Structure 1
Amino acid sequence: MNDNALHTVEAQVREQAAAYCESNNVPGFVVGVHHAGEQIIVAHGTANVATGAPMLRDTGFLFGSVTKVLTTTLVLQLVDRGLLDLDSPVVKYLPDFALAVPGAADKILVRHLIGHTNGIDADLYFPDDKGRDALKAYVKGLASGCGTLFEPGEQLSYSNGGMIVAGRLLEVVTGMPFHDLLAREIYAPVGMPDSGTSAEQAILRSTAVGHFLDLETMAPKPTNMFTLPDTWGPAGGTPIGTIADLLAFGRTHLAGGVAPSGTRVLSAESTALMQQVSYDMDSPNTPPIGLGWVLYPFGDTTVLAMSGASPGGVSLLCVLPEHDLVFAAYGNNPGAIMLQDQILQWLLSEHLGVQIPKLVTEMEQDVDLAPYVGTYRSNQLRIDVSIVDGQLEERMTYEPADESQERIFTEFAGGMTSAPPQRYVPIRPGLFAPAGYPLEAFDGYLRLLLVSFHDVRDGQARFRNGGGRLTRRA
C-alpha cells in the first residue's frame, strides 16, 4: 500500500467514524487497518462518559466473541502437538462432560465444539463463578441445566457453550488455567503486549467501557457491568486488548500462522483448516463457517470474520487473505456495529475494488407463512411467531432460569428483558427480512438481521435461525 492510499484510508475512516458517532450517540470508536505491510489506527471520541477519558489509539477494550478465534487457535495448537484429535469424542479428554439429555455429550467431537455444530443448548447460561475453577463449574452445571438443540453435526448454531467447553478441555489437557494458557500461547508469541484477561489488569491502563442509551434522556450511560463472569472467558467474557494487538493476531492468520515477530504460532495446515468451510447452511443470513472463523462471502472475496458483543460494546476482526488485509474495530455502544459494517464495505468496494453483489435482489409476494407460525425455544429464550396483517410478527422474551441468570443477562443487555414485536416480510419461502429496512442494508455484515426457517416437516418448520443462532419449535 503506498503512502497516498494509506492517507486516503485514514482520512476516510476518520470522517466516517466522526459522522456516525455524532449522529448515533456512540461515545467512542477505535479502528485499525493493516494492508500490504502498512498500518493505520484511528481513534475518535470518548472511552468512558463518566470520566471523560478520551478514546485513544492504544485504548483497551473487551474482545467479546472475537476471543472464539483465539480459543480455536489454542485448540489447533494442541492438535499440532499431537495432544488432541479433532475427530475424537470430547469425553475422551473431558470425562466429566455431560448434558441434561443422557448420552448426548458422548456424541460430540472436539471438532463440533469449535465449528458451532455441537448442538449444546446453553447460549444464555451464565453461571457466576470466579477464579481458577470457573470453567470446571460451568461444565458441571451443563449436566443438570442444559440439553441439546440438535444432533451433533446435524445443524449449525453459533455456540457460546461449545467454546467454553473447549476452554475447559484445554485446561484439562494442558494442566493450565485458560487465562494463563491464553497469555502464554497467544498473547506472548503473537506480540499482544497490551492484552489481558481481567478487570484488575485492565484498570492499570487506558480501557474503554461499554454504554447503553438512557431511554429517558437519549444520552449514552456507562454499563453497570464491565465483563461477563469468568465462566465465559473462552467464549469472550473476559479477554481485553487493543486494536494493535488484534491486528497482530489477524496478521498471524494472514501469514499462515507466523506472527509479525516471525514466531510460528500455528502450523500452516491448521491455519488453513480454520479458513476452510466446515459447515454451510446454504442460507444468505448464515454465512458458511470454518473452525473459529465465520466465512463471509462478498462476491468472489471471502472475509474471515468474528464480531464480539460485550456489555455495551461491540468489536470486529476481519482477515482478507486474498487481499493481504486485516481490519479491526471497537465501538462502546452496540449501535457501532452499523459503523463497522459501513467501513468494511467501504474498504472492500472503494479501497480494494471488490464488487459487492446484492444479497437480496427481489421479494416474493405469495409466500405461505403458515409453516413458520409457532413458538420456538432455546436456553432461556422464547420466540413467538404469528401472522399479523399478512406479515410474520415475532415476540422475543427472555425467561431467566434463576435470579443470578436474570441479573447477569439484564446487565449485559442494558436493562432489557424483552424486545418490542418485530414484523418480517418474505424474501422467499423460509427467508425473511425485518420490515422497513432497505434491501441493500443486508449486503454486508448486517445480513445477520435476516431470519430463516429450516427443516420443514409436515407443514411446520423445526428451526428458526436469527443471527446465526437456532431456536427449536417447542
Structure 2
Amino acid sequence: MENNALETAVEAQIRHQITDYCETAQVPGFVAGVHHAGEQVIVAHGTANLATGAPMLADTGFLFGSVTKVLTTTLVLQQAERGRLDLDAPVVAYLPEFALAVPGAADKILVRHLISHTNGIDADLFFPDAKGRDALKTYVAGLASGCGTLFEPGEQLSYSNGGMIVAGRLLEVVTGTPFPELLEREVYAPAGMKDSSTSAEQAILRGTAVGHFPDPETMEAKVTGMFTLPDTWGPAGGTPIGTVADLLAFGRTHLAGGVSPTGERVLSAESVALMQRVSYDMEAPNTPPMGLGWVLYPFGGTTVLAMSGASPGGVSILCVVPEYDLVFTAFGNTPGALMLQDQLLQWLLRDHLGVPIPSLITEVGQDVDLTPYVGTYRSNQLRIDVTIVDGELEERTTYEPADASQERIFTEFAGGTTSAPPQRYVAIRPGLFAPAGYPLETFDGYLRLLLVSYHDVRDGRARFRNGGGRLTRRA
C-alpha cells in the first residue's frame, strides 16, 4: 500500500495504542483494520497462539463470534428479497417443527423477531453438542423440551443467540442448502471475503489465531482448551472464521448500499437501509436501539452500526459509521481486548472524525429506592440474586447447568470459570445502575453495556433485569 493520510495518521495511532495496551493488559495478540473514504489500513501486533509462538499478522484468521449475526441477518434479508421469506410471517409457517417448552409460544414468533432480538426465546446458554449437516436441526429440536420464553414476542428486547440459530435453520429449510454452504456462497463469495471459512477444519489450512484466558493465579494468558463452539451455534457466531480484510469488505458492502468492493450486489439498498432502521428501542442507556442484525449505538448525533463477538478466549468487533464512510474492525485474543477495541473506536470517532462524544452518565443518583429491584432473576441456566448491602445493590450470579454436556461446553467456553464474586452497583437513577468503582467516563462508549437496568416495575417490583443487553426475568 502506498503511503496515504490514513496510513500515516491512523496507522501510527492505532499501533501505539495496541502496543501499550497489549503489554500492560497481557493481551498476546491483536489485529485491527480501518477503511475510511477509500483508504484502508490494517495493523497487527503480538502473538496469535502462545502455544506455538505464531505471530499475529494482518492476514491472520480469527473467529468472528457474534459478528456473524449480521451476516446471518444479511442472508435472511436476501431470501426475503427473493420471495422465499416474509419477515412478518410466523416462523412455523416455514419451520413447522419449531416449538418451545411453553405450548404455543413459538407460534407467535415472526421471522422479523428472530433477527431483531425481540423473539423472547430463553436459550442464551443452550449449547447442544452436535456436528455436521443436521446440527441446526438438532438445536431446534432441543428447544421444545429445554427452553421456554422470557417475554411475549415484540414485548421486549433481549440479545438472542437462540433467535439467530433458529434463523439459520429457517434458511436451510427455505433454500435447501446447509447454513455453512449458504454463508460461503451468498455472503463470503460476493462480498469478496476470500479468506473466510466456516469450520476449524478449513481454518487449520491457513494462519488462524486462538483464544487465551488469564490464569486465575498468575493472571498470565494461557491458551484456550476449546477453539470453536459446537456446529449448533454456527449462525449465532460459533464457527465462522475470517480476517480483518474480510470483515472490512463486508462492512464496506453495507456502507455502499449492498454493493461489495468486488462490484457484486450482495443486498438491495432497501434491505441495507431496513437493517439500519430502529426496530426496537428500550430507551435505556445501557441498551442501544436495535435494527435488524445491527446494534445502533448513538454517539451524540452519530450512529455507529456495531456488533461484537465473543469466542473462546477472544473477542471481535465490527463497526460501520455510514455518516462518515468509515468501517472499523478488530480482534484480540483475550476477553479483555474489548476494552482496547472500545478505546480505538472512541479515538476514531472523537479524534480522527471529530465526532463529539457526550458523557453518557454525569453523576450518580441520590436517595434512589432500591427495594423494587431486590429479588431473584432467571434465564436459561442462569440465576441472579439481587440484595441491598451498605446502600448499594449486590448481585450474585450462579450458573445452573441443565446437564453434564451443557456444563462442559459452557465451562470450556468461559475458560474454566463459571462463577464470579458478588458485584456491587451504585444507583445512577431509578432503574439504572453502574458497577461500583468504575469512573463514569467508562460508560461513554461500547462499555455502556456494563451498566445494569431494571424494567417493567409492577406493584413495586421490577419484572426484568437487563445486563449486557440480555434480560433475566424475576423468578
How far did residue 5 of structure 1 move? 4.1
Q: What is residue 70 of structure 2 aligned with on the other side?
A: 69
User: What is the rounded CA distance, in whole Å, between the counterparts of 1:456 and 1:2 in structure 2?
Assistant: 57
Q: What is residue 204 of structure 2 aligned with on the other side?
A: 203
User: What is the rounded CA distance, in whole Å, between the counterparts of 1:435 and 1:464 in structure 2?
Assistant: 17
Q: What is residue 117 of structure 1 aligned with on the other side?
A: 118
Q: What is residue 369 of structure 1 aligned with on the other side?
A: 370
Q: What is residue 275 of structure 1 aligned with on the other side?
A: 276
Q: Deviations over 1:132-159 (max 9, x none)?
A: 0000000000000000000000000000
User: What is the rounded CA distance, in whole Å, between the counterparts of 1:190 and 1:250 in structure 2?
Assistant: 9
Structure 1: any 5+ residue segments left out of the alignment?
Answer: none
Q: Does structure 1 conserve the Cα–Cα contact (< 8 Å) formed by 2:6 and 2:41?
A: no
How many residue pairs get aligned? The number is 474
State the AA in 2 paired with 1:261.
Answer: T
Secondary structure of the 2:396 match is strand
User: What is the rounded CA distance, in whole Å, between the counterparts of 2:465 and 2:312 in structure 1?
Assistant: 25
Q: What is residue 260 of structure 1 aligned with on the other side?
A: 261
Deviates more, 1:341-350 or 1:357-366: 357-366
Q: What is residue 155 of structure 1 aligned with on the other side?
A: 156
User: What is the rounded CA distance, in whole Å, between the counterparts of 1:254 and 1:365 in structure 2?
Assistant: 43
How far did residue 16 of structure 1 move? 0.1
Counterparts of 1:67-106 in structure 2, within 5 Å, are 67-106=68-107
What TM-score comes out, normalization by structure 1 length?
0.99
Q: Deviations over 1:269-294 (max 9, x none)?
A: 00000000000000000000000000
Secondary structure of the 1:130 match is coil
How far did residue 3 of structure 1 move? 1.9
Residue 27 (1) aligns with residue 28 (2): yes
User: What is the rounded CA distance, in whole Å, between the counterparts of 1:166 and 1:136 in structure 2?
Assistant: 11
Q: What is residue 403 of structure 1 aligned with on the other side?
A: 404
Secondary structure of the 1:42 match is strand
Secondary structure of the 2:201 match is helix
Residue 59 (1) aligns with residue 60 (2): yes
Secondary structure of the 1:447 match is helix
Q: Does structure 1 conserve the Cα–Cα contact (< 8 Å) formed by 2:284 and 2:453?
A: yes
Q: What is residue 332 of structure 1 aligned with on the other side?
A: 333
Residue 135 (1) aligns with residue 136 (2): yes
Q: What is residue 459 of structure 1 aligned with on the other side?
A: 460
How far did residue 35 of structure 1 move? 0.2
Q: What is residue 227 of structure 1 aligned with on the other side?
A: 228
Q: What is residue 447 of structure 1 aligned with on the other side?
A: 448
State the AA in 1 paired with 2:422.
Answer: P
Secondary structure of the 2:248 match is helix
Q: What is residue 413 of structure 1 aligned with on the other side?
A: 414
How far did residue 66 of structure 1 move? 0.1
Structure 2: any 5+ residue segments left out of the alignment?
Answer: none
Secondary structure of the 1:225 match is coil
Q: Percent identity?
A: 83
Counterparts of 1:427-442 in structure 2, within 5 Å, are 427-442=428-443
Counterparts of 1:350-361 in structure 2, within 5 Å, are 350-361=351-362
Query: Aligned-residue CA RMSD in angstroms?
Result: 0.9
Q: What is residue 295 of structure 1 aligned with on the other side?
A: 296
Q: What is residue 46 of structure 2 aligned with on the other side?
A: 45
How far did residue 13 of structure 1 move? 0.1
Q: What is residue 473 of structure 1 aligned with on the other side?
A: 474
Q: Does structure 1 conserve the Cα–Cα contact (< 8 Å) formed by 2:165 and 2:232?
A: yes
User: What is the rounded CA distance, in whole Å, between the counterparts of 1:83 and 1:153 in structure 2?
Assistant: 23
User: What is the rounded CA distance, in whole Å, between the counterparts of 1:244 and 1:417 in structure 2?
Assistant: 34
Secondary structure of the 2:376 match is strand
Q: Deviations over 1:409-449 (max 9, x none)?
A: 00000111111100000000000000000000000000000
How far did residue 402 of structure 1 move? 0.3
4+ runs deviating over 6 angstroms:
none
User: What is the rounded CA distance, in whole Å, between the counterparts of 1:142 and 1:317 in structure 2?
Assistant: 30
Q: What is residue 171 of structure 2 aligned with on the other side?
A: 170
